[in-house]
Amino acid sequence: MNTPEASRRDSGARPTIKAVAAAAGVSTAAVSQAFNAKGRISEATRRRILDAAAELGWSPSATATALRSARTRTLALVVRRPTDVLGADPHFTELITGLEGELAPRGYGLLLHLVADVAEESTLYERLAAEGRVDGAVLTDARADDPRPPLLRGLGLPAVLLGAPHPDAPVPTVGLGNQGAGIHEAVDHLVELGHRHIAYVSGPGELLHTGLRRAVFEETLLLKGLAPAAVLSTDFSEAAAVAATEELLGMAQRPTAVMYANDSMAVCGIGAAQRAGLRVPDDLSVVGYDNLPIGHWLHPRLTTVDQQVQRVGAAAARALLAQCGEKVPPVALDERPRLVVRESTGPAR
């Protein structure tokens, strides 16, 4: 004959605190204490009770209900970058600023995790979902065959993916459309200024947006009947930007214009060019990417591509908050990144 507990388990009926107490060989009061972290039960007993409860699928109903409906008021932002590049690339500061602008007034926090690779990132989402640590996640750095959207869908964790709008994506995408448009405009701008030797200083090749922008750079030049003066890859670090610039300035046929994959590298490039005795833009035109605030204040002011990082962050936060049940209107985004012409680009000599 079955014990009452076993029959309950087998029939799939809801387990009871009595069943947990019986399975652990303790009183029901001790079970309560184990879950409330109160009382004088030993760690070994607490563990035995929690294991028995897990085995039976029991949890204190009030707490369980509260936990099920309760919000953590926390969104995850997992960044796949070495920690030193996080500091070097103000892009993330801009993104976080955009997110926080929406989260802070609503009392939400941002859980920031740095991970080394996609596998580590996936394991982390599994843990955050299992432990109920966040209400949703903002995914950055979209890749081809990205495993994260289906994973998060499977985990039941709301998510948005930063990147070009993609109607078939397993999770909503938030970003400007036509992501190559800014690069396209920048190349047009330089060619109109008479530049024929234009170089590109890229980010790491494996990132989707990096590869896309580099491809648009090369295609746009090709449409004009031109070839790149050079295309150099970097890890986004300042030292790599300076090294790439020095390499370009040392070429037999020196480029008359350089486009950088972000503003931070462009600022370093301007410094390196000035240090080598070149004037910007008289001797060398420089184009950045991101439209960070600093570019507006430097002398010369930086010509760059505005991809509205803060605004995309705000839109991502709102899209995710809406998925989490908050009543927030969506943020309208421009249909594409735009070139902002300032002072660091001029006629080719």
Under rule CB under 8 A, which residues in 109-148 are in contact with a copy of itself? 109-116, 119, 123-124, 126-127, 129-133
Q: For residue 136, give the 3-state DSSP assignment.
A: strand
Member of 170, 196, 271, 324 binding a copy of itself (CB under 8 A) = 271
Member of 3, 25, 106, 154 binding a copy of itself (CB under 8 A) = 154
Q: Looking at residues 62 to 81 of the shown chain, list those that interact with a copy of itself (rule: CB under 8 A).
A: 62-70, 72, 74, 76
Q: Is residue 9 close enough to count as binding a copy of itself by CB under 8 A?
A: yes
Minimum CB distance to a copy of itself, residue 148 (Å):
13
Member of 94, 121, 135, 141 binding a copy of itself (CB under 8 A) = 94
Minimum CB distance to a copy of itself, residue 6 (Å):
10
Minimum CB distance to a copy of itself, residue 60 (Å):
6
Give the helix/strand (H/E) hosting 93: helix 91-103
Only one residue has tokens 């505005």, namely 306
Query: What is the full DSSP assignment across 15-69?
Result: P-HHHHHHHHTS-HHHHHHHHHT-SS--HHHHHHHHHHHHHHT---HHHHHHHHH
Within 8 A by CB and 6+ apart from 151, the residues are 122, 125, 126
Per CB under 8 A, which region of 90-98, 136-144, 170-178, 221-229 contacts a copy of itself?
A: 90-98
Contact (CB, 8 A) for 183 and 341: no
Only one residue has tokens 């993104």, namely 95
Within 8 A by CB and 6+ apart from 157, the residues are 125, 128, 129, 134, 136, 137
Minimum CB distance to a copy of itself, residue 340 (Å):
16
User: Cα–Cα distance between 107 and 105 in angstroms, integer?
Assistant: 6
Identity of the residue, 220 or 264, whose beta carbon is nearer to a copy of itself in the bound complex: 264
Identity of the residue, 66 or 227, whose beta carbon is nearer to a copy of itself in the bound complex: 66
Member of 7, 39, 247, 330 binding a copy of itself (CB under 8 A) = 7
